[in-house]
Structure 1
Amino acid sequence: MVIVTTATEAEALSLANQLVAEYLAACVQILPIQSIYRWQGAIHCDPEWQLLIKTRFALFDQVRDRLLALHSYEVPEIIALPLIAGSSAYLNWVKEQTQEPSGG
């Protein structure tokens, strides 16, 4: 699972649609969140939208590169968390809905 945040719901929807359309994600869930963080020496508190991207581990580099190309943030949060277990039916569905990773 890859986690990304955006400043607007519109950007979150755009990124999610692009990743699913390109078979880089099987599903993207979008949640409103509140973030408190330090940026350029100041503490900020802003609403954001969090994307939970369900994809194959082997596609992380492609997902990351696509997000970096499309994202509006100078330094977007793009992190991957391992799924250590899940129902085989769901995990198979994720695999079926995503492309085979491209080599190199």
Structure 2
Amino acid sequence: MIPRCTVGELIDEGIRTTRHCECCGDFADVDLQRIAAVKGRDFSLADRLPFCTNGDCLGMIRFQIHRGLRAQWLLTPEGAARFQAHSDWLFTYRQVQSRRAAQRAARRTPQT
């Protein structure tokens, strides 16, 4: 069970929050003050899965909170299912692109 985790609560409790994209490996701390200024202190990061903005990456970003040596993803079972569905789609998309590239390369090379 994840806590409510509004931006205001995370700031008040001094909880370190990071974002991570498994597709490209992008990892960074989250600027909670900036989010609070734009979205408000009652904005919750739970189940937020924005698309990665790192170049042409097709992954989704997950948020994680760190309390001492413990880390916890800010996902409910429904959010985890959405993330898994996107990961499955991304795997299939990459497989299709790989096969298409191999077929194009085979068509370009002359047959002997």
TM band (smaller chain): under 0.3
> Which structure has the larger Rg over C-alpha atoms?
2
If asked which structure has higher relative contact order (CA below 8 Å, sep 6+), I would say 1
**TM-score between the two structures when normalised by the length of structure 1:** 0.25
Larger relative helix fraction: 2
Choose between structure 1 and 2: higher strand proportion.
1
TM-score for both structures, normalised by structure 2: 0.24
